[in-house]
Each structure stands twice: as structure tokens, then as C-alpha cells.
Amino acid sequence: MTVPETAEKIKSMEIRGAGRIARTAAEALRDHALSLAAPDTAAFKKEMEQAAALLVSTRPTAVSLPNAVHYVMAGLDPSVNVDEARNGVIHRAEQFIQSSQHAVERIAGFGARHIRDGDVILTHCNSEVALGCMIEARRQGKEIEVFATEVRPRNQGHITIRTLNDAGIKTNFIVDSAVRSFINNVNLVIVGADAVTVNGAVVNKIGTSQVAHTAAEARVNVIVAAETYKFAPRTVVGELIEIEERPPNEVLPDEIARTLPNVTVRNPAFDVTPPEYIDLIVTEQGAIPPQMAYVIIREYLGWEIGEFNPGGGSPAGFNGE
């Protein structure tokens, strides 16, 4: 897939979920590097930077995307010849994809240890790593049951219930507003993350903070499953995570909206769950309390602000191992 095709698919959410977005962006940069017929390294670098910027511009919230792009682009050494520069990008892209897959597997293993036989788990949205923990627990023979939300307006819950069904996990499908009605039937919440900030706040699908608040009130533990490349280095220097606001017609059809001139539809795709509502963040480096997010950023993403910064920034590295 070309870079513009990939960018379009990420924008339209045909490719979605923070981890998948990151790996697909790395693949697109690798393929772009492979096919570019640039006369010299400077031209190659310029084209690659344009491609990188296009990918980063597709969705603003999932930090995995700029982190992945930055990691791949850090393989481009401007002082070598064009073939070496190309190989540098390809190598870093392959490395990112592999370590991301490895991270997903490790988190499933670590997360499954926090799931006990007989647990009833609530999940919100469609997170590859959160589901990985449940599927691994089931694979280990633990009898679990899941409550999965619908996830208005894009219905990611439909993907989640299919995956759970196919894994042979007993699943209850509920509308988003039914979470509080069922929270006392549940003894664990597991969700994914699009970004984790330096203070341990978790940005995830809209509604996650309501789920976590409800869980806190009911004394139900909340686990966030998140690879280290979901942590946001630039929050160390005070940058805020941008919350994507998506088109109104995802929520209300245009033909109805047209008849309601006094009504404005608001459609934020993500929200922020404060660290007080989170018991544990399970990363591929192990489980941490949210308050230790800073350590993950420092140890695994580097101090130099690891996100892709078009035209500048030093190449700090995500270290997936």
C-alpha cells in the first residue's frame, strides 16, 4: 500500500486501533523507502519526510503513530549514500513492526496473570492488547466472562465481540450507557490506550473515563494494557495530547442535522482518564502503577522527546525489547 493510500485508510478508520495504526505506518514508510527512486540522499530524505508528515497528520491522538514514525525515520542517516539511507529506514521499520508484535504478545502474557479463574471483565472499545490478555487467560484454561460495550458512534464493540466469540469466551454485549447498571456484575476492567501522559493519565476511546469512574466508585480494579510506544514523551515538556474531534455525521445523519439549526453535534473520539482511576498499566516491560509513567518515558523512549518532529528533533529511540 502506498503512503497516501495508507494515510487515507487511517483517516477513514479502515485501519484503526493505536497499535495497528503504528505498525501500518511503519510498513508504509518501509515500502515507500523501497520504491523511491531518489537521485541522492538529500532528495530521499526530503521525500521520506513528506511521507512521514502525511502519515502523522492523519489522526492526532494515538501517540503510537508519531512514536513509530519517529523511530523509523531515526534510521535515516543523512551522511551516508542513498542506498545505505534506504536500508537504514527499512531496517528500523522492520525492527519496529517486530518489536511491536513482540510487545503485544508479552503484554498478553503479563496481563493474563492478573486475570483469575471466574473473573468477569468489562472492556470498552476494541483494543488488540486488552483482548490479548483475555484470550491468553482463556487459553490458559481460565473460565472468564466479558461485558463488551457497543462503542458509539463507530461500533468498535462489534469487532470486539466477534473476537471474543471466536475465542470461545462468554460475552455480554451492552450499550455504552449500561456500564453502571452492570458494574457490580464485573470484577475487573481492562482497556487499551491511545496515549499515556507523563502523569499516568490514559487517553483512550471516548467513554473510557466514565467506565473508569464507575469502576472506581464500585471498587472494581482498572487495568490498562499499553505498549511503551503509547507513552507520550512530549508531555514531559508540557505538551498536551490533542483529542480528535470527528465529523458530526458519525453521530447524527446530515439530513436530520440540517433540520436542527440550533443543535451542534460534538464528537470527540477520545477522553482522558486520570491516574487515580487506574490501578495498573501493563506494558511489555512489566506492570507499573500509572504514577511511574515518567520512568517508562525516560527509560524506553529517551529524554530527547521521542515523537516525530518534522524538520527537527533528535532521534531518540523507542526500544521495544
Ligand X SMILES: O=C(COP(=O)(O)O)[C@H](O)[C@H](O)COP(=O)(O)O
Site for ligand X, rule CB under 6 A: 16-20, 62, 125, 127-130, 156, 192-194, 204-205, 269
Q: Are 21 and 10 in contact (CB under 8 A)?
A: yes
Nearest to 194 by CA among 276, 81, 272, 309: 272
Q: How many residues does the chain have?
A: 321
Which CB contacts under 8 angstroms, 24+ apart, belong to 263-269?
267/153, 268/206, 268/243, 268/244, 269/61, 269/205, 269/206, 269/243, 269/244, 269/245
Q: Are 210 and 272 in contact (CB under 8 A)?
A: no
Number of H helices, E strands in the chain: 11, 10
**Least CB distance from residue 104 to ligand X, whole Å?**
8
Q: State the binding site for substrate.
A: 16-19, 59, 204-205, 230
**Least CB distance from residue 19 to ligand X, whole Å?**
3
Nearer to ligand X, 16 or 86 (CB): 16
**Least CB distance from residue 61 to ligand X, whole Å?**
8
Note if 254 is an active site residue: no
Nearer to ligand X, 62 or 85 (CB): 62
Alpha-carbon Rg for the chain in angstroms: 20
Q: Are 204 and 125 in contact (CB under 8 A)?
A: yes
Note if 133 is an active site residue: no
**Which residue minimizes CB distance to ligand X?**
192
Nearer to ligand X, 89 or 297 (CB): 297
Which residue out of 119, 176, 194, 279 is catalytically annotated?
A: 194
Tell me how far apart the alpha carbons of residues 192 and 183 are, in angstroms, rounded to a whole number.
18
Tell me how far apart the alpha carbons of residues 73 and 89 are, in angstroms, rounded to a whole number.
6
Q: State the binding site.
A: 16-19, 59, 204-205, 230
**Least CB distance from residue 176 to ligand X, whole Å?**
13
Tell me how far apart the alpha carbons of residues 107 and 242 are, in angstroms, rounded to a whole number.
26
Which residue out of 119, 125, 133, 176 is catalytically annotated?
A: 125
User: What are the catalytic residues?
Assistant: 125, 194
